[in-house]
Homo-oligomer: A and B are copies of this chain.
Amino acid sequence: MESRQILKERQGRSLLRQEVSEGIKRYILENKLRPGDPLPTESELSATLGASRSSVREAVKTLDALDIVEVRHGHGTYVGRLSLSALVEGLTFRGLLSRDDDFKVMSDLVDVRELFERGMAERILTSLDSDHLRSLYRLVDDMERSKSGDGTGFVEADRAFHALLVEPLGNELIGQLSLAFWDVYTIVVPHLGVITSKDEAETVANHRRIVDAAHAAHAGDTDAFTRAIAEHYAPVRRRVQEAREADAAG
């Protein structure tokens, strides 16, 4: 069997699965494939890269976890969306695992969320136009309406708001990171085991205050805007704090 040969030729240093993974990535890069483009079947990859189906499958699974590759059962393997899903899953697990550590992981996370919006305040205001402002107001209205409604509407509007807030920067990475941390926060907080305050009216008001400040300040002073953002994150931080104190008391 020739595969044994290849095994010998590899001089035993790195793992075959690792080489297969590199091979698949190289294939995508050399052929300049885009997200959604089809990849060769597992059998073809197996033959081309000189590894068994099992090794190819394990390699594909690691790339799938990073969203470099996407597998559709009974259909085929494709180039992945290259999203930050791996970051979300990793940080979510970290947040769940280290609840004991004074919930520091989560409070650090809120710091980062605030950093994205406060640190980019100036640039957000200068590139914000009236269309964006209108869309932001619309989302706040959506939150207002779906408040104490079915449920999913409120959080979805919240998520969309923070995506839209940094959108005028034209920096996709910041937008994706911002959403990734929003996702982690939203997933982890309900698992903290204690009931935390969740004043939806206050949340709506805080979001509206951000848009109001943006509308007023526009290209002028950014202080009111950054203050509004800080006030928005105060209750977010408080929820983590409440969970921490309840956990320490219990």
Contacts and interface: CB of A to CB of B under 8 A. Distances in A.
Interface of A: 15, 17, 25, 28-29, 32-33, 54, 57-58, 61-68, 73, 82, 84, 86-87, 89-90, 93-94, 96-97, 100, 104-105, 108-109, 111-112, 115-116, 118-120, 169, 171-174, 177
A108 B120 CA distance: 13
Given A57-B58, A58-B57, A96-B29, A174 B87 contact: no
Nearest to A82: B94
B65 A66 contact: yes
A87 B84 contact: yes
A240 B64 CA distance: 29
A86 B93 contact: no
Given A100-B32, A116-B115, A66 B93 contact: yes
Contact of A82 (B15, B58, B66, B93): B93
Q: With a 10 A CB-CB cut-off, give which of A58, A104, A119, A173 has the most chain B CB atoms.
A: A173
29 contacts: A15-B73, A25-B93, A29-B96, A33-B97, A57-B58, A58-B58, A62-B62, A62-B64, A62-B65, A65-B65, A66-B86, A66-B89, A66-B93, A68-B89, A68-B93, A82-B94, A82-B97, A86-B87, A86-B90, A108-B174, A111-B171, A111-B173, A111-B174, A112-B171, A112-B173, A112-B177, A115-B119, A115-B174, A119-B119
Nearest to A104: B172
Copies of this chain present in the complex amount to: 2
Q: DSSP class of A's interface residues: helix, strand, loop or mixed? A: helix
Contacts of A66: 65, 86, 89-90, 93
Contacts of A68: 89-90, 93
Nearest to A89: B66
Contacts of A64: 62
A98 to B, nearest CB: 8
Nearest to A17: B61
Contact of A84 (B62, B90, B112, B118): B90
Contacts of A29: 96-97
Nearest to A67: B90
Contacts of A109: 173
A65 B59 CA distance: 10
